[in-house]
Chain A
Amino acid sequence: MNPQSSEKPYWSRDGLLLGARLALPVAPGFIAFGLAVGATAASKGFSFAAMFLMNLFVYAGASQMVAMEIWPAKMTLAGVVSLALIAATVNARMLLMGASLRTWLGPLPWWQTYPIQHLVTDPGWLIAMRYRAEGGNDFAMFFANCVALCLIWMSATTAGYLLGSLVTNPRAIGLDLVMPIFFAVMLIPLWRAGGGKRRAIGWLVAGGVAFAVQYLVGGWWFIMAGAVAGALAEGFADEC
């Protein structure tokens, strides 16, 4: 994969500073997303502790957005299982991120790489891949970058939650629509990165199946059904 892939990454103090600095360009987008997740948690009536713990331990905004949308008023075992399945489905894309990190971090011992991977995010992964492609090999950069992004996330979601809590009627100012609006905007870079006939087929199938399942089955299974069907359709569509 990479000509330098067998070269063991090293640690340096400068790498810590570089990792924090490389987090700055993506901070605005990360903060906007964090504010949206925090405000959504407030508008759905989550306690501060639950919001904070979810952001720290799940730490995957898109899956949290979907989960909070379908969060049952009364939590049952069935509810727990469906929320875990939603998290697994929405976050399955991370399998790819981890697979590509292996080509860089593979030579390091497991106890250095497995714990910090809890803090891998979409922007953090992009930063790491770009840094590595440019010849960087400092693991301290990766470590500090992940930690910096997590600190930004926890601050932004806390701020979003506090701002959202000030609003007595979230519906009146459109706050209940933060999730669909933010998600729709994310489609633009996804189309630019991989748009084409195959992606169009995948999205049509995702939407069609979601509609059909919502109509026929009800509940929230349409998200899972549409997502899996759309991803399979795009993956199996012949090259166009």
Chain B
Amino acid sequence: MNADLGVYGTYIAIAAMAAATYPMRVGGYWLMAHVPLTPRVRRILEALPGAVIVATVLPILAREGAPAAIGIAAALISTLIRRNDFVALIAGVAAAAVARYAGLG
């Protein structure tokens, strides 16, 4: 399991990710022809995107400290004022950069 896969390692990993993703795209479609999804399974799958984001972002936030917190806060405030993903992204990255430049974190 721990042998270095060398120069093709990146491509092997990309192929594995692709092989894991396509069944998710067609799996529900295929399954519906055989058994309907229960409301419980539906709710769990609906809950997944938010749970993925919280579980990914919170520990990174804790690790990266003030610049990450300031960047995320700026992007959230920008989105609450007016929903524009470009503006939010630029505001967030810029705020984080300024925070680092100011010596925070």
Contact = CB atoms under 8 A, between A and B. Distances in A.
A211 B14 contact: no
Contacts of B72: 180-181, 184
Contacts, number: 314
B14 A50 contact: yes
A54 interface: yes
B50 interface: yes
A234 to B, nearest CB: 3
Given A69-B56, A194-B46, A235 B40 contact: yes
How many chain B residues sit at the interface, stated as a range, is: 35 or more
A161 B45 CA distance: 31
B4 A230 contact: no
A223 interface: yes
A177 B67 contact: yes
A182 B9 contact: no
Contact of A50 (B10, B28, B50): B10
Nearest to A65: B56
28 contacts: A28-B84, A54-B14, A58-B14, A58-B17, A75-B12, A76-B2, A76-B9, A86-B17, A87-B17, A87-B18, A92-B48, A93-B46, A94-B27, A96-B42, A96-B46, A106-B33, A113-B29, A179-B56, A181-B72, A184-B53, A202-B50, A202-B51, A207-B54, A210-B58, A226-B55, A226-B58, A228-B51, A235-B46
